[in-house]
Amino acid sequence: MKIIVDLEATCCEHDEFPRSEMEIIEIGACAVEGGGEVISEFQSFVRPIRNPILTDFCKTLTSITQDQVDAAPNFPKVLETFTHWLGQYTTPLFCSWGEYDAKQLQQDCRFHEVDFPFGDQHVNLKAEFSKVLGTRKRFGVGQALWKSGLEFKGTPHRGIDDARNIARLATVIENKKV
């Protein structure tokens, strides 16, 4: 079972805080069967603690509001709920668009001293898409959808919408239809 994960995190435009202090503010995930069908979804906002006030840049980029993160559970609680959701799949394969999501999830797990919810295997779908095209160039989700003849559905830089669109690209990759 492929688990397509997309994370949104605190971010800034002018180095107000280092990348190592970015925190997850949304987890979006889709469970995708071999044929490409999304059979289940997970979405939750996360209340950040290091930089609890979202920058204007972050709010504009993600469309996530301060009220949404203020009302959200903290990372350990969200991860517990996410891990419970993952538990319905015997061998969940962690997939994301690039390496960022895996590194950010590992960083937040270390900071909060909680277990990482996946094994060692991670599939970088961005790299897989480039392999299908036979190029070294790496494409963003929007560019990859366009190259595949698809349109982005939803709001860019929202975890659940990005995960849904990446799930569509996973099907393209699996079928090598680019």
Active-site residues, by number, are 8, 157
Based on its alpha-carbon atoms, the radius of gyration of the chain, rounded to whole angstroms, reads 16
Alpha helices in the chain (DSSP H): 56-62, 66-70, 75-86, 100-112, 125-133, 141-147, 159-175
Report the alpha-carbon distance of residue 71 to residue 68 in Å, rounded: 5
Report the alpha-carbon distance of residue 67 to residue 110 in Å, rounded: 26
Q: State the pairing for strand pair 93-96/2-9.
A: parallel
Q: What are phi and psi of 4, to 5 degrees?
A: -85, 120
Alpha helices in 88-148 (DSSP H): 100-112, 125-133, 141-147
